[in-house]
Structure 1
Amino acid sequence: MQQINEILINGAISILVILLGIAVKAIKEYLVQKGGEKTIKIVEILAKNAVNAVEQVSAETGFKGQDKLEQARTKIRSELNKYNIHMTDSDLDTFVESAVKQMNDSWKGE
């Protein structure tokens, strides 16, 4: 029973990772059409920086899960406003989740 649960959980995680990859690709294509490659690069860099910043101060602030996501969104949105770029929360979440995955993969050495 334990092994079946592990297989199901691993399968679900694999499917979520694939779906996240598809979502990031779709959003990137949309943004390339709408604002060009420069916009994507700006959002990716800002997401990566915001995730790193929030992660570094999370021990001191006590932020967890959703609070960390909201902090990252706020930081990214304030910077995007400087470039006159506007995105929905779900689009920002996708970039934040992608940055978190990249950070976790680099910590694991993958």
Structure 2
Amino acid sequence: MDQITNIITTSAMSIFVVLTGVVVKALKDYLLTRGGKKAIEIVEILAKNAVNATEQVAGALDIHGKDKLEHAKVSLIETLATHNIYLSDDEMNTFIEAAVKAANDEWKK
């Protein structure tokens, strides 16, 4: 009898964990579709911050060109992860390039 109770309890807990995962995933997708604009604004701000921070430490770290891009990407990835935002490599490059262009335009003024 204890074995049957044990099996039922274990099965119920497994089902509950799976259902909880499905509900959380659905809720996250729903919030991302509703908060998509806000997520993009956050990414733009964080990309700009990553580019500016990379420019400030580039001299001290003696990094140039592609190394600066990689440093900015790593910085952006770490910061986005704290906001539960994940981008593809191409999307990240696009946001970083846009931030670099905006910074260059701003510095030329």
Q: Same-fold call, TM > 0.5?
A: yes
Alignment pair present for 1:65 and 2:72: no
Secondary structure of 2:69's match?
Answer: helix
Letter in 2 for 1:101: K
How many residue pairs are counted as aligned between the two chains? 78
RMSD value, Cα = 1.6
Q: How does 1:44-59 map to 2 (within 5 A)?
A: 44-59=44-59
Q: Within 1, Cα distance between the matches of 2:51 and 2:38? A: 20
Deviations 1:49-99 (A, max 9, x none): 000000011011111111111111111111111111110111101100000
Tell me: CA distance 1:34–1:57, structure 2 relative to 1, closer, same or farther (3 Å).
same
1:8 corresponds to: none
1:97 corresponds to: 97
Q: Which runs of 5+ in 2 are unaligned?
A: 1-31
Letter in 1 for 2:42: I
Q: 1:33, CA displacement in angstroms? A: 5.6
Q: Within 2, Cα distance between the matches of 1:57 and 1:94? A: 22
Q: Within 2, Cα distance between the matches of 1:104 and 1:46? A: 17
Secondary structure of 1:84's match?
Answer: coil
Alignment pair present for 1:76 and 2:72: no
Q: Within 2, Cα distance between the matches of 1:96 and 1:52? A: 10
The TM-score, its normalising length taken from structure 1, stands at 0.66
